[in-house]
A and B are shown apart, each in its own frame.
Chain A
């Protein structure tokens, strides 16, 4: 082996004092400094590997699965690549009615609902667009959101408000997400406002209001299954007495969906509650005191001072819950099994039903559609709402 030639570093500005140093590679200093430089990467590596193995690989693999067909064969399984067949099945083929729903004829009420909601949405978007200086990317972003929003609204109205229409799992999931989260936010805010007051026993109520969040979703779902059972449940005698012994709200599509939403509301309001309570308690008292001196009433104080102050926190919890709510599963699965019909089936349950019978391809396609919708809604929300609320401060 040849000896390593001594390395001389050319003199640079400011290095005048230093005589040419003989650098021996792998001396202690260089090793330490090399290790120092690599430390960041080395320390992050395990986390990166874990994410790669547990998150990225399954993500890519399930993408591939969604483009293929799974078949158990002798000694293992075979995965055929079938292109976009599974997605075509969802959007145009046999799963279309299950996934998107059946479009009904739009009556006067339907048109009215569509026009009003679309107008509200477009006005809000327009205002959001005008709020900051225009740029190409912002206009493009808003246009995409407007188009997607109109399409989604069209689908929702055509399947829900019309006669003969029927929402598919996609629209049902939207109902759970947007309806459910809005309700959870309102109830959570109400409870938090109450508990922020100097009322007797508020400590006790804080703990009690938190309890539902600690219970496993399956447990909550089974509890609600018992509670909603008008034949044998604990409320059966009351239902009997009121003459409702032979009525069951799980038979009616909207009754069942509302039952699911009530369960979800019960379980997840505490999360909203605790975060909003913290936000309410940490707002600075000065502006409120000043407003009281100025003679503002309670509603004005709440609307003009409290709400803007808790805005960023509220927006964050809503974002978290929005993303979380798209994955609703336990409640419809246990409470109704997705029934009556497919009335309460969410996207995750839809994917699960397909997965259970080893139809992995279509199942993955449903899951990917969900991922796409969640990502789109999440990004749109952050861009349009979240940023404005947090930057306003």
Chain B
């Protein structure tokens, strides 16, 4: 019933948007007698014959729910949704090439809002603000403010509809920690100590020694987000607007100082308590290892919470705890480049003297619409994104591990039943949602880099430096110098002043 209601509501909005009117009239002309009786289906088939090409990355995550819901959506509206998938590493470039060359074969893109600067600045994306304002079914206000105001918005306008809530957390095995009387890690030193404690012990009862920690460190995958999750609390302590990548006044990278050095060392040290081929692990490997009980600790997005309750693969159901990213008692003093102890001035947001900086890595998969798509296709595309994000659909999808969708709506954090119904114990659900809430409520949340060329800064330069550092090709000092040099080169190439303005506006600094 609610679904029918919401459908009618969004129909109202799309009719208001304009182009639907014509189709509706024509339909009434065609079947004048049947019109009153079959009002809902007739009106519902409003995108009959419209084909929408949606591009996203090769799943199964993210692509799966889109593919699964596409036929449902077609039944409701008549619009045919083609989900096109490409490897993650190619996604940014594929979309941009399609747009810059004017091919425009992709109508809806489901992508990382991090790349938004590169897509919005040249004017490729449709401003969704008016549509969202006229779409009560979407329940925009239910989406957590961080995702509404940061992820979806650029320069004061809304360009994307969030489908996923992304920030990283640390996961631990509650059963192991309880048995040893250990507390979940508060600082990165705790993380290393716990990892060391469990490393080499059999953690899942199969007789094979397991690992203290397992982090995705493969090159060309997710390693640079993992690293920044560690670095964030050392670099940023004064709240989100301080920024954790560059100095907001000079655009000088914060990558050559004591704090960064410490973060690099911790990142490398986690490898001591990790699997031997950790350098070749992406999140697929680290998730599989954690939910099959091979690691005591891991660092990941929200996905582990739901994967751990998947009966098909999990051996650690209800043995998984989540916690806000560990922090540090010493933070960067930006003037001197040295580490200084936390006090009321240096770490105003510290909890128990520990500065936490939850990192909104990636920013969550979001849907946007190609401005140059045909009007009718844009309407259908918007309707599809709205449909995917409406609580009726989204609140189910976020509880399924394989969707790759993590909670991003307030109703999803508040409603414990949703998670219990999906198979979590109530305690596990409270723990998981608690960690999410702690992270999202932190005033010191770190926004991911969202300036032109973000993909080059992180996906190429940082990724390569980290990989070379872990492989022993670079010392800590060389890694910092190389990274700083590489980032400055991109900044100078794209224009320092322009980049600085973009960075400041991504942090909403006037």
Binding site for B on A (CB under 8 A): 69, 72-77, 93-94, 97-98, 166, 229-231, 240, 245-248, 250-251, 253, 336-343, 353-359
Contacts and interface: CB of A to CB of B under 8 A. Distances in A.
B122 A250 contact: no
A227 B341 CA distance: 48
List the 7 shortest-distance A-B pairs measured between CB atoms, nearest first.
A340-B471, A341-B471, A248-B277, A341-B468, A248-B276, A339-B219, A341-B473
14 contacts: A72-B100, A76-B102, A94-B489, A97-B482, A229-B277, A230-B277, A248-B275, A251-B279, A336-B219, A339-B219, A339-B279, A354-B460, A356-B89, A356-B90
Contacts of A245: 208-209, 276
What secondary structure prevails in chain B residues at the interface with A?
A: helix
A272 B489 CA distance: 45
Contacts of B485: 94
Given A94-B486, A94-B489, 11 more contacts: A73-B122, A74-B122, A76-B102, A93-B489, A250-B279, A251-B471, A341-B469, A342-B467, A356-B90, A357-B92, A359-B456
Interface string B180-219: 0000000000000000000000000000110000000011
A97 B483 CA distance: 13
B220 A338 contact: yes
A330 to B, nearest CB: 13
Given A251-B279, A343-B471, A337 B123 contact: no
Contacts of B208: 240, 245
A357 B459 contact: yes
B122 A339 contact: no
Contacts of A343: 471, 473
A357 B455 contact: yes
Contacts of A338: 219-220, 467
Contacts of B307: none
Interface in B82-98: 89-90, 92-93, 96
Nearest to A333: B220
A113 to B, nearest CB: 21
Contacts of A246: 209, 275-276
Contact of A340 (B93, B100, B118, B470): B470
Given A74-B123, A248-B277, A339 B92 contact: no
Contacts of B456: 357-359
Contact of B473 (A73, A93, A166, A358): A166
Name the residue among B90, B102, B277 with the largest chain A CB count within 10 angstroms.
B277
Contacts of B460: 353-354, 356-357, 359
A358 B276 CA distance: 34
Contact of B468 (A69, A76, A93, A342): A342
B9 interface: no
Interface string B202-244: 0000001100000000111100000000000000000000000
A340 B276 contact: no
B219 A337 contact: yes
Contacts of B121: 74
Given A342-B468, A357-B93, A337 B473 contact: no
A116 to B, nearest CB: 27
B464 interface: yes
A353 B221 CA distance: 12
A250 B470 CA distance: 12
Given A98-B464, A359-B456, A342 B276 contact: no
Contacts of B489: 93-94
A342 B464 contact: yes
Interface of B: 89-90, 92-93, 96, 99-100, 102, 118, 121-123, 208-209, 218-221, 275-277, 279-280, 453, 455-456, 459-460, 464, 467-474, 482, 485-486, 489, 493
Given A338-B220, A357-B92, A231 B277 contact: yes
B280 to A, nearest CB: 5
A179 B159 CA distance: 52
A250 B121 CA distance: 41
Contacts of B118: 72
Given A341-B467, A341-B468, A353-B220, A250 B459 contact: no
A336 B280 contact: yes
A339 B471 contact: yes
Given A253-B471, A339-B467, A358 B279 contact: no
A342 B473 contact: yes
A247 to B, nearest CB: 6
Contacts of B470: 340-341
Contacts of B467: 338-342
A131 B470 CA distance: 51
A340 B123 contact: no
B386 to A, nearest CB: 27
Contacts of A229: 277, 280
Contact of B277 (A93, A166, A250): A250
B93 A355 contact: yes
A248 B470 CA distance: 14
B464 A251 contact: no
B359 to A, nearest CB: 21
A337 B218 contact: yes
A77 B122 CA distance: 9
Contacts of A72: 96, 99-100, 118, 122
B281 to A, nearest CB: 9
Contact of B280 (A250, A354, A356, A359): A250
Contacts of A340: 219, 279, 467, 470-473
A93 B92 CA distance: 26
Contacts of B482: 97
B457 to A, nearest CB: 9
A177 B352 CA distance: 58
A197 B489 CA distance: 61
Contact of B220 (A94, A98, A337, A359): A337
A34 B456 CA distance: 59
A171 to B, nearest CB: 14
A332 to B, nearest CB: 11
Nearest to A251: B279
Given A354-B460, A358-B93, A339 B280 contact: yes
B483 to A, nearest CB: 11
Contacts of A251: 276-277, 279-280, 471
A341 to B, nearest CB: 3
Contacts of A359: 456, 460
